């Protein structure tokens, strides 16, 4: 006997919220699967990108925010460039990360949002990523001070070889980047 399929009643209110926050019309997706077929990290995702977009169309908030797909997303934008409807899927994934953090939902892997937060913190502070600060911030948040001590030898070797700068080069656009962060944080 075949199992009875789950009945899903679409809930457009949450889909509308994702579309509003991302600025992307996910309801335009017709499931061609080009995003999934081009994605280099689908092997690590629990839900394929096209299926995640379909779940957004249906408004399946809990199912979506408990997925690891948007946390695993490499933001390479292959999906975005392949989408025939011009949906910036990578941006939708970033929006889901922010929504998940705002909801206080704990991801399957705690290190991914820690990396995300450390990365954005560095961008916010300098207008570009400062590898030294980002790695230090990430390591302290994920492993504590002992993790930083464990990585000190590698960091010193990289610094001596000129591969790691203590301070980032100044960036003329830093004020514009700061303004972008202030504007997006106001949307919260």
Rounded CA-CA distance 142/174 in Å is 27
Alpha carbon distance 90, 73 (integer Å): 8
14-42 pLDDT, tens per residue? 999 999 999 999 999 999 999 999 999 89
| Residue 34 and residue 82 in contact, taking contact as beta carbons nearer than 8 Å | yes
Instruction: State the virtual CA torsion across 137, 142, 145, 149 in degrees, nearest 10.
Output: -90
87 burial type by CB count under 10 A (0-12 exposed, 13-18 middle, 19+ buried): buried
Q: What is the pLDDT of residue 122?
A: 82
Instruction: Provide the whole-model pTM.
Output: 0.67
Is residue 48 scored above 90 in pLDDT? yes
* SS3 labels along 5-40: CCCCCCCHHHHHHHHHHHCCCHHHCCCCCHHHHHCC
For residue 128, what are the contacts with CB-CB under 8 A and spacing of at least 6? 122, 168, 171, 177
- When pLDDT is cut at 50, 70 and 90, the band that residue 176 belongs to is confident
> Cβ of 24: how many Cβ atoms within 10 Å?
24
Domains of the chain (ranges, CATH numbers)? 1-107 (1.10.1060.10), 110-188 (no CATH)
Interval 91-143: pLDDT, tens: 999 999 889 888 888 777 778 778 878 888 888 877 777 888 888 888 888 88
DSSP category for residue 47: S
Residue 162 DSSP class: T
**Comparison of pLDDT for 133 and 184, the residue scoring more:** 133
pLDDT value of position 74 = 83
Which residue has better confidence, 18 or 76? 18
């Amino acid at each position: 006997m075949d199992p009875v399929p789950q009945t899903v009643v679409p809930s457009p209110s949450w889909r509308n919220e994702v579309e509003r926050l991302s600025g992307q019309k996910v309801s335009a997706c017709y499931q061609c699967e080009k995003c999934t077929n081009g994605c280099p990290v689908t092997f690590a995702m629990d839900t394929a990108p096209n299926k995640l977009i379909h779940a957004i169309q249906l408004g399946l908030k809990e199912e979506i925010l408990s997925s690891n797909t948007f946390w695993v997303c490499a933001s390479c934008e292959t999906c975005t460039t392949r989408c025939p409807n011009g949906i910036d899927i990578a941006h939708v994934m970033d929006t889901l990360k922010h929504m998940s953090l705002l909801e206080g939902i704990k991801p399957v892997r705690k290190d991914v949002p820690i990396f995300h937060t450390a990365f954005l913190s560095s961008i916010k502070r300098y207008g570009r990523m400062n590898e030294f600060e980002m790695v230090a911030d990430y390591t302290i948040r994920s492993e504590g001070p002992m993790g930083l001590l464990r990585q000190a030898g590698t960091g010193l070797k990289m610094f001596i070889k000129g591969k790691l700068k203590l301070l980032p080069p100044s960036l003329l656009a830093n004020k514009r980047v700061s303004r972008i962060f202030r504007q997006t944080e106001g949307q919260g």
